Amino acid sequence: MVATQAPEVVLATPSPLPSNTPTLAATQTALPPSPTSLPTIVIPPTETLLAPLVLPTMLAVEPTFSLWDGLPTYLAESQPGYYFRVRYDPETWGLTRDSYGQPALGHRGIEYCIIAAGEVRGMPPGTQVDHETRDIGPLSYEINVVLQLGVRQFVVYQAQTADRTIYTSFQVNFVDAIDACLADAEVVFATLTSVMESQATPVP
């Protein structure tokens, strides 16, 4: 029997790739993202509420009502030398300053329910303002409800006093219990009158 010799296997040494030839890893990273990649989730920013107002401590025996005197918001349409005056129940409201340092009434039972002197100014895109005229007490108020995406953001009440000496407005801010907040605010607005500057006691 003749022995046969196994053929010799010669392994060729691969020649180095040119430096400008992309490797497999480089080719993989250069490919566009797969259509099955997970979608990017964009989380809209959440609005951060300011700290609740610090209200004055209630007295052991509160008066039946307290007064808030202040400059009318529309000075050009008001007679000089007059302030607005509203009465409020000190068990429901506390006279303080808002986050901007301006005098305001803060509700004692509804957090973030605030009455401040204010008016409707430039609104951001997507904002809607619904207008209504309605009697509150002896006065006729123009009521502007500011909405965004159909949700009430704040309400502005504008009125001229019965003696026609001042024209002023109030802004009511809220977060929750909107209807209850507005109902209590309108009790205050029903008392709007004017007072001579010499008799006014504005918030220091």
Q: What is the pLDDT of residues 42-71, one digit of tens each?
A: 333 445 666 666 666 766 666 689 999 999
Residue 96 has pLDDT above 70, yes or no: yes
* Token code pair at residue 178: 């909107």
Kindly list the strands in the beta sheet with 82-88, ordered across the sheet, starting from the edge strand earlier in the chain: 66-70, 82-88, 193-196
What pTM did the predictor assign?
0.71
- Domain positions in the chain are 66-120+128-199
User: Distance between CA 168 and CA 142 in Å, rounded?
Assistant: 11
Q: Which CATH architecture describes the domain 66-120+128-199?
A: 3-Layer(aba) Sandwich (3.40)
Q: What is the pLDDT of residues 103-118, one digit of tens each?
A: 999 999 999 999 999 8
